[in-house]
Amino acid sequence: MTTKTDFINYIVEFTESSGQIYRSQTRPIVINLAKRKFKKVYVREKAIVLLQYLAETGIKAGKKSFCEYNEVPASAIARIPASVKKAIAVRLLQDIRPEIDDYVRDLRVAASKKKPLRRC
């Protein structure tokens, strides 16, 4: 019997490993959140809401393969509660945080190179 945790883990792994989802949604979200962190207007709760859209995409794309892999009828997971979507979004945020931090570091380096040196 599969549990909610199994489903969450599967969808997170599926979403992270899908190249199409990465190019179309994950990478733009990472850039957006990194810019917000760089400008110091980043709010974690808003990031989770943003990542819930990514979670919905992952659920739509991965639900069929999850049912086939675990031999569960599709009707068993017809509606996904908001709490599960939020849990998936939180896990996705934890997993992409290093990528966000790397991009913020790149933005800081680029910003420091653009500033002219002050003359005394």
Residue 119 lies in a domain: no
Residue 75 lies in a domain: yes
Residue 82 lies in a domain: yes
- Residue 36 · residue 42 · CB < 8 Å: yes
Mean pLDDT value across residues 63-83: 71
69 compared with 48, residue with greater pLDDT: 48
Let me know if 44 is exposed, middle or buried by CB neighbors in 10 A (0-12, 13-18, 19+). Answer: exposed
Start-to-end CA span in the chain (Å): 71
Q: Which domain holds residue 62?
A: 4-114
Q: How confident is the model at residue 1, as a pLDDT?
A: 43
What's the predicted TM-score (pTM) here?
A: 0.81
Q: What is the Cβ-side half-sphere exposure of residue 115, based on CA atoms within 13 angstroms?
A: 9
pLDDT interval class at 79 (50, 70, 90): confident
pLDDT interval class at 65 (50, 70, 90): confident
Gap between the Cα atoms of 7 and 75, Å rounded: 14
Count: domains in the chain? 1
